[in-house]
Structure 1
Amino acid sequence: MYDEPIYYQDNMLRIKTLQHMKIREPLQRKWHYHRELEFLYIQEGVLQIRVQERVFTLEPGDVLLIGASQPHVTWSVLSEKVVYLILHFDMHAYSDPSVMLYYRTFYEIDGPLSRYNDWFQTDPQLKSDIGDAITCIHREMESRRRGYEIAIDLHVKRLLLTIVRSEQNNMENWNEPPSAYNLHPVFDYVDKHLSGKIEMETISKMTNMSYHYFSKYFKKIIGVSFVEYVNMQRVRKAERLLLTESVNITEIAEKVGISNMTHFYELFKRYNRCSPKEYIQRLTP
């Protein structure tokens, strides 16, 4: 089992997209996985992909979603050649407050993302919308026109929105998730105070909830504890600072509100599977 490194075409967007072609010949089947979500969009030919125990036969117009760290392998090429788009992106880079409200979906707390592959086969409009978003992202990355970063971010969010809304159309006994309107001021407060101390007691008072009720409410809505959410946002900010500012790692840790360097390294490695120094080396051309 191979932990495949994904080399991003844009380090800030944490994304890679390319057009790939395979011809019908004996394949060296190599199981692999990666932390990035992966989408495939078939443009020509027929391809079989095995994702864990399932084999998917993909024809022109078909799409496939492979979850983070989900083992998969190219199983066979059933036509003379197959041409398809591959899209990899790190969900962590797109976990802003609006997306965090759907953390439970994208981080597979309520179920595996692989369930969407069955919906793609039965919902032509959903499949078409996903394929169009993948195509637009690939086109923007290839052209690199002024503003492509904004365009790609919008298309990724469009792709995520399509996924979220498809749940309501394809799940039986759909229940609208509980409202999270009280959490928007919380997200804003956390974002503005990452460099300092963030007390959950202060946050709970902002939402007119008791300390313990807020703690349970936040985890129920988001899928992770409030402390875990704050840690994620601190690491996200540290990632940006590492790539955009010429300061040492100690200063960056202080700027994201972590004075204990051992704790900073532990958190950073938890989310990136590497040290801050290795992160810079990996993402800096």
Structure 2
Amino acid sequence: MYDERIPYQDAMLCIKVNQHMKIREPLLRLWHYHRELEWLYIQEGSLQIRVQEQVYTLGPGGVLLVGSSQPHATWTVVSEKVIYLTLHFDLNAYSDPSVMLYYRTLYEIDGPLSRFNEQFHTVPQLREDIGRAISGIYHEMHCRRRGSEVAIGLYVKQLLLSVLRSESEEEGENRELPPASNLRQVFDYVERHLSDKIEMDTISKMTNMSYHYFSKYFKKTIGLSFVQYVNIQRIKKAERLLLTEQAKITEIAEKVGITNMTHFYQLFKRYNRCSPKEYALRLTTNADKLSPSSAPTS
């Protein structure tokens, strides 16, 4: 089993989507995993995929979701010829406040996202919507028309919505949703003050909760502590700055509110498994190699 590194076709969107064709091709069945979510959409033929202990057989129109860091392998080509799309994207790149409200589900606190594959298989309309979104992302990524970034972002949100709506149907919409009014102002405040010192005491007063109650409330609702959430947002902003600004790493660390460089490097490596310099070099190199002019059109 190996940790696969996904070469993004767009450094800002943190996404890769490709079309594959296999004709009577023997497969090595190599187990692998990656931090990105993976979606498959079968356009022609049949394919078997194994996700941990579960084997899925996908025919034309079939879709599959593999969760972050979940071991999986392409098991066998069932038909003589199969054509399918694979989509990988880093969920962190699309985690705005509306997404963070459903952190427990989308970040797999309550269980792997692959548990929704049965729902995708049994609900034709849901399967069609997912296939249409994946196809739309593929088309936009390889045509690169004006506004493609916006269109791709909308399609990704459609995929995430499919997951959330599947959960609602599966549980009879009995699950209590987190109180959005309290959390939205917290998310907005953190986003505006990432370069400053953020005190949980200030946040708890803002939400009319005691310090200890807010701490427990936030972790129970979101699935991670408030400090962890702030650190994730700081690193996400640092990722964007590394790609969009010509600045020293020390300056970027200060802009995201981390003055201790040792702590900054530790956090960055924890969430990206590489240093800030390696991250920027890898993404900009991949972006150059996979520029619109060199993108496949099939």
Instruction: Note whether the superposition's TM-score is higher than 0.5.
Output: yes
1:173-184 aligned at under 5 Å gives the runs 174-184=174-184
Offset, 1:180: 2.8
The list of structure 1 runs, each at least 4 consecutive aligned residues, that deviate by more than 4 angstroms after superposition, is none
User: What's the offset of the Cα at 1:276?
Assistant: 0.2
Q: Does 1:66 align with 2:78?
A: no
The 5-angstrom pairing of residues 143-182 of structure 1 reads: 143-172=143-172, 174-182=174-182
Kindly indicate whether residue 220 of structure 2 is the aligned counterpart of residue 220 of structure 1. yes
Quote the Cα distance in structure 1 between the aligned partners of 2:56 and 2:236.
Answer: 35
SS of alignment partner, residue 111 of structure 2 = coil
Equivalent residues of 1:2, 1:31 under 8 A apart: yes
**One-letter amino acid of the counterpart of residue 281, structure 1:** L
Q: Note the alpha carbon deviations across 1:188-241, whole angstroms, 9 max, x for none.
A: 111111101000000111011000111111111111111111001100110010
Which residue identity is paired with 1:111?
Answer: G
TM superposition shift of 1:176: 2.8
Report the residue type matching 2:240 in the other structure.
R
Q: Where does 1:1-285 land on structure 2 (aligned, <5 Å)?
A: 1-172=1-172, 174-285=174-285
Contact kept? 2:101, 2:178, Cα under 8 Å? no
> Could you tell me how far 1:125 is from its partner in structure 2?
1.2
Distance 1:106 1:40 in 2: 18
Deviations 1:97-150 (A, max 9, x none): 111111111111111111111111111111111111111111110110011011
In structure 2, C-alpha distance between the alignment counterparts of 1:168 and 1:160, rounded to whole Å: 13
TM normalised by structure 2 equals 0.93
Q: Equivalents in 2 of 1:175, 1:185: separation in Å?
A: 22
1:111 match: secondary structure:
coil
Q: Which residue of structure 1 lines up, in the alignment, with residue 294 of structure 2?
A: none
How big is each residue's C-alpha offset from its partner over 1:50-95, in whole Å with a ceiling of 9 and x where there is no partner?
1111111000011000011111111111111100010000011111
What letter matches 2:33 in structure 1? Y
Secondary structure of residue in 2 paired with 1:40: strand
Q: Give SS of 2:113's match.
A: coil
The CA distance in 2 between the partners of 1:175 and 1:187, in whole Å, is 22
Deviation (angstroms), 1:153: 0.7
- Are the counterparts in 2 of residues 180 and 221 from structure 1 also a CA contact under 8 Å? no
Q: CA RMSD in A?
A: 1.1
Q: Secondary structure at the match of 1:85?
A: strand
Q: Which amino acid aligns with 1:81?
A: K
Aligned residues: 285
2:50 touches 2:74 (CA, 8 Å); kept in 1? yes
Counterparts of 2:54 and 2:158, CA distance in 1: 28
TM-score, structure 1 length as denominator?
0.98
2:296 — aligned with what? none
Q: Aligned residues: percent identity?
A: 73
State the secondary structure of the residue aligned to 2:12: coil
Q: How much has 1:152 moved relative to structure 2?
A: 0.4
Distance of 1:64 and 1:278 partners within structure 2: 31
What runs of 5+ residues in structure 2 fail to find an aligned partner?
286-298
Separation in structure 2 between the aligned mates of residue 255 and residue 63 of structure 1, nearest angstrom:
41
For 2:11 and 2:198, the matched residues in 1 are separated by 29
Q: Which has the higher contact order (CA 8 A, sep 6+)?
A: 2
Following TM superposition, by how much is the alpha carbon of 1:277 offset from its aligned partner in structure 2, in angstroms?
Answer: 0.7
Deviations 1:240-270 (A, max 9, x none): 1000111100000000000000000011011
SS at match of 2:88: strand
